[in-house]
Amino acid sequence: MQLVVARIGRAHGIKGEVTVEVRTDEPELRLAPGAVLATDPASTGPLTIETGRVHSGRLLLRFEGVRDRNAAEALRNTLLIADVDPDELPEEPDEYYDHQLMDLDVVLADGTEVGRITEISHLPSQDLFVVERPDGTEVLIPFVEEIVTEIDLDEQKAVITPPPGLIDDRAEIAGSREEDGA
């Protein structure tokens, strides 16, 4: 199975290094020197990682054959894809690969159906489940433990306890109620 593990950002310096937006919880495994990664678009790869280092909190990679800023900049926005055994699980018990979460049924703690996960959106601050509801609409569910209280891969479900207004319109908006006697 192929998983997107990073997206190449802008060139860094003049010797072919690029910044990388990491999309894996295991960068030391997936983005190590010597790793050969497929790419999207496929025409830019495969790419072999020659060196990697952290600079000012950002991962910088250099690929074999990429020696200058122009070659590095040509790789911008390329997705890096690793081959992963579909039976492989993350090291931590509360971590999941995207393919494990896709198509899970999303339910409330009382069993009420919310929908099905159709996409996982990886944002800088947190991940979001894109959940398709039975009526065809979509709702975004932050993948944080306060809201997603249980992932049961055997039962193929994610249990959520959403705050008011996340999946319905029952939220109270400050100042929207008329004050008594006004």
Bridge partners (DSSP) listed for residue 66: none
Question: Which regions of 56-156 does DSSP assign to beta strands (E)?
Answer: 58-63, 79-83, 105-108, 113-122, 127-132, 138-142, 148-152
Of 10, 9, 16, nearest to 62 by C-alpha is: 16
- Mean pLDDT throughout 9-19? 93
The half-sphere exposure of 88 on its side-chain side, counting CA atoms within 13 A, is 14
Structure tokens at 173: 């908006």
Q: How confident is the model at residue 86 (pLDDT cuts 50, 70, 90)?
A: low
Whole-number Å distance between alpha carbons of 168 and 56: 41
Q: Residue 90: pLDDT above 80?
A: no
Q: Residue 177: pLDDT above 80?
A: no
Contact 144, 161 (CB under 8 A): no
- Mean pLDDT throughout 108-116? 92
Whole-number Å distance between alpha carbons of 50 and 38: 15
Task: Specify which of 63-67, 87-91, 169-173 reaches the highest per-range mean pLDDT.
Answer: 63-67
The answer to which of 33-42, 74-83, 120-129 has the lowest mean pLDDT is 120-129
Q: Residue 130: pLDDT above 80?
A: yes
Q: Residue 176: pLDDT above 70?
A: no
User: Which is more confidently placed, 177 or 157?
Assistant: 157
The total of other beta-carbon atoms located within 10 Å of residue 37's CB is 23
pLDDT computed for residue 115 by the predictor: 94
pLDDT computed for residue 56 by the predictor: 85
The half-sphere exposure of 126 on its side-chain side, counting CA atoms within 13 A, is 12
Largest CA distance in the chain: 75
Query: pTM for this one?
Result: 0.58
Whole-number Å distance between alpha carbons of 112 and 161: 11
Q: What is the mean pLDDT of the chain?
A: 84
